[in-house]
Amino acid sequence: MPGYQVRSERVQVDGADALLIRLLLNPQQFADPLGEAEALGISSASWPFFGMLWPSGLHLAAAIARRPVRAGERLLEVGCGLALASLVAHRRGAEITASDIHPLAGDFLRHNLRLNNLPPMPYCHGDWGVPELERLPSPHGGTVRGRFDLIVGSDVLYERDDAGLLPRFIGEHATLSGEVMIVDPKRGNRSAFARRMAVLGYEVQQTSIRDPLGPGGPAGGRLFRYRRGPS
């Protein structure tokens, strides 16, 4: 592909069969010839993040692998990147939609579906900064619409969110009795996120993650499960 290089890797997710994943060759890759990423607020430094393997993404995929598939339940992954959790859920038969703001995330997802002989799955352009009623069609995928019974994300709290855009997005798209599952590697913004979720009526349960053999070295963090009302 012009402008950046890729490689393929067999990725083992705890509790699930391995996935063959196309990802960026290294974190130095960058290609935005039409300025699409820049227009979406994606800097050259953060451009490759979507196409890298992150420990939090593996932990979220493992949590999805352990979770029962429930008939009629709709799932949404936000900031999906390589969408490991979505791929695991999709292969298990769950009704899941992957979403990301990066202009190449959908292309990588479709390629990885083919690599693993999986049928097509829904992908949407997920821009938290635009309220649902103001979202316009995107060339990179349909816009996120409707309500979901489970919303999941990994390492989505790495930037300050003073306006509370992600909690607002969740509030727009979570069912009243729905669950939110976030894996966070000890980012400093998780406390502000938790406060805004509490305002929306969510209570939280935390589970520590200890992974001394995680990709790239020791990895840790927490799995947060948000529910409205008593847990």
pLDDT band (50, 70, 90) for residue 141: confident
| pLDDT tens digits, one per residue of 12-25 | 999 999 999 999 99
* 225: CB partners within 8 A, 6+ apart: 179, 180, 181, 204, 205, 206, 207, 231
Structure tokens at 73: 């339940």
> How does DSSP classify residue 138?
B
For residues 107 and 83, the answer to whether their CB atoms sit within 8 Å is: no
Q: Residue 216 pLDDT > 50, yes or no?
A: no
Chain mean pLDDT for the chain = 91
**pLDDT for res 219:** 60
- In 3D space, the residue among 131, 133, 138 whose CA is nearest the CA of residue 105 turns out to be 138
- In 3D space, the residue among 9, 2, 60, 66 whose CA is nearest the CA of residue 29 turns out to be 2
Q: Which CATH superfamily is domain 6-228 in?
A: Vaccinia Virus protein VP39 (3.40.50.150)
Mean pLDDT computed over 210-226: 68
Query: Coil, strand or helix: which one is 71?
Result: coil
For residues 224 and 205, the answer to whether their CB atoms sit within 8 Å is: yes
Percent of the chain with pLDDT over 70: 93
| pLDDT tens digits, one per residue of 167-200 | 999 999 999 999 999 999 888 888 999 999 999 9
Phi and psi at residue 227, in whole multiples of 5°?
-140, 150
**pLDDT for res 2:** 66
Beta-strand relationship, 19-24 and 6-11: antiparallel
Q: Residue 210 pLDDT > 60, yes or no?
A: yes
Distance CA(106)–CA(195), nearest Å, equals: 31
| pLDDT tens digits, one per residue of 90-138 | 999 999 999 999 999 999 999 999 999 999 999 999 888 888 778 877 8
Beta-strand relationship, 74-77 and 148-154: parallel
Measuring CA to CA, how many Å separate 221 from each of 28, 71, 155, 187, 204? 25, 30, 10, 9, 15
**pLDDT for res 23:** 97
Percent of the chain with pLDDT over 90: 77
Phi and psi at residue 166, in whole multiples of 5°?
-65, -45
